[in-house]
Structure 1
C-alpha cells in the first residue's frame, strides 16, 4: 500500500520520466494526498504541478533537491516548503543550472572520446527542455543498447572513477542550506545511506549538516527500503534530534526507483517534517 505522502520525487523538469502534471496525477492514483516535487536544482516544474494538484485534490509542497559539496564529496539536500520566487534562491538555482550545463557537456565529450558516438545528442533528446544529467546519459546508454540497465550504465561509465564521470561544480553545503532557509524552507539530508559513508563519516556529515542549519533527514526513503536500514537511519535521526522525512525518490516508470508513494513507513516515535511544514508555507 502506498503512503499518504511522498516528499521526494522528480519530473521532466530535471531527470524524471514524467511531466510535473503527470507525476501529480500518478501520485493521486497511488493514493498520495501530500506530495513534494523535488527536482534537481530547479523549481521550474512547480507551476504545472500546482495546477495539476489543485484539480487532483492533492496538497503540493514546493520543493527541490540541491546538489551540494562538503569535504570534496557530493551530497543532496532536499528543500521543503520553499518560496520558489525568493530572489536569493532564484539566483542560486541559475548558478546551479549553469554548472549542470557545463557538466553535461563535459560528460558528453568524455563519452564520445571513449567511442560512444552520439552520446550527447542522445542525452539531449532524453533531457528535453531540462539540463542534461547523468541520468539522461544513463537512459541513452540503455536505449542505445550499450548497457543492459541503469545500474550497469553508472557502474561502467558514469560513477566516480569511470570514464564518463565529471565532478560537479556545486554549491557548498553551508551556502545551499542557507538558500533553502532564506526561502522559508526546511533543509533535509537526502538518502543518507546513498553516499557509501562509514559510521564515522556519517557522524561528521551530520555534525556539519546540523551546524549549517539542516533540520531534517530522510529516514524512510526509496533508496533505503529495508527495515534494518530504516531503523539505522531512525537511530541517527534521534541522536541528532532531527525531523524525519520520507520519500520514494520516484523518477518514473522503467527507472530503478520506488513507485511514487512507495517509501516505507516512518518509525512511530519520530517527529515528521510534515508537522513543521504548515508554519513554513508548505
Structure 2
C-alpha cells in the first residue's frame, strides 16, 4: 500500500537515530521522498552527527536538506526548545558546547539508572548505549529499555511511572538559558528559531528573546492546536520573525500519531532561512 502523501512541501523538525529518533538519517530521507516531501530539517538533540548521511541521502533522492539542531533550555522552570538551522559545523565554540551538553546527558542517564536500581528496576548501562545508536542519549532510550525488560508496555508508561517530570526516578537535565541557546546558535552562524512555543505557553518570553537574536517561531507543530498556530503566526508577524513548522517526527513507537510531513511549511521557507544565514548581522 502506498504511503499517505505529506500535507506540506517541507517538514523542518525531524529526529533520527543520531539522537532519539527511530529512523537513521538515510531511512528518514527515503521515507520523506516516498511521501512526496521536497525538503526536510534534521534537528537532533545536541548533535550534528546525522547531517552527512542525511545530505548524501538527500542527493540520492533529490530532497533538499536543512541542517539543524535542537537545544533544550530552561526559562523559569519551563522547557524552552531552540532550533538552530545551518550552524557552522566547524565552529569550535559550538562543538565544545555540544560535547559538554552530551556529557551532561550521559551523567543524567547514570543518575536515573541509579534511582531505578534503588526501586528494584535494573537497567544495564550497556543496554542504553546500544539503544542510543548516536552520540546523544535521551530519556526515550531509557523508556525503551524499560519496555524491553518488561517493566512497562509503552514509552508513555515509562515516563509516567518512572522517568517523567514528577516521577520517582526523574532527574533534570542541565540546560542552557534560552538566551544562551540563541547566542550559541547565532555565534555559530545559524538561524535561531523558537520550537513549539504553544506546548509551554512561552509567548511572554518572546520579546526578550528577540532582543538577543531570535529569528523565527515554529508556528506549525504536532502539539499545536489551530488557535496556537494563529496566535504564534500573529506574534511572528508582529516581531518580523520567520514562521516555520514541522512535525517533530521521531517514529511511531516513540511519538505515536506524529506523522512525517503532516505538519510543516512550503519549500520557500527553507530559502528564507538560507537567506538569513547569508545576511550580515
Greater shift in the superposed pair: 256-265 or 25-34: 256-265
Whole-angstrom CA distance in 2 between matches of 1:40 and 1:141: 21
- Equivalent residue number for residue 251 of structure 1: 250
Whole-angstrom CA distance in 1 between matches of 2:213 and 2:270: 15
Structure 1 contact 244–273 (Cα < 8 Å) conserved: no
Greater shift in the superposed pair: 9-18 or 162-171: 162-171
Deviations 1:176-207 (A, max 9, x none): 21121122211111111222x3xxxx233213
* Deviation of the 1:137 alpha carbon: 1.2
5+ residue gaps, structure 2: none
- Equivalent residue number for residue 204 of structure 1: 204
Residue 171 (structure 1) aligned to one of 167, 176, 193? 176
Structure 2 contact 11–265 (Cα < 8 Å) conserved: no
- Equivalent residue number for residue 108 of structure 1: 113
- Equivalent residue number for residue 273 of structure 2: 276
5+ residue gaps, structure 1: none
Structure 2 contact 69–83 (Cα < 8 Å) conserved: yes
Greater shift in the superposed pair: 80-89 or 122-131: 122-131
Q: Which TM-score applies when normalising by structure 1?
A: 0.88
Is 1:42 the equivalent of 2:39? Answer: no
- Equivalent residue number for residue 218 of structure 1: 218
Whole-angstrom CA distance in 2 between matches of 1:93 and 1:159: 23
Q: Which TM-score applies when normalising by structure 2?
A: 0.88
Query: What do you get for the CA RMSD once the two structures are aligned?
Result: 2.1
The 1:211/1:173 distance shift into structure 2, 3 A limit, reads same
Whole-angstrom CA distance in 2 between matches of 1:21 and 1:83: 21
* Deviation of the 1:175 alpha carbon: 1.9
Q: How does 1:86-165 map to 2 (within 5 A)?
A: 86-118=91-123, 120-165=125-170
Residue 29 (structure 2) aligned to one of 13, 24, 42? 24
Whole-angstrom CA distance in 2 between matches of 1:69 and 1:135: 19
- Equivalent residue number for residue 180 of structure 1: 185
The 1:254/1:72 distance shift into structure 2, 3 A limit, reads closer
* Structure 1 residue runs of 4 or more that deviate by more than 6 Å after TM superposition: none
Structure 1 contact 70–172 (Cα < 8 Å) conserved: yes
Q: How many residues align structurally?
A: 271
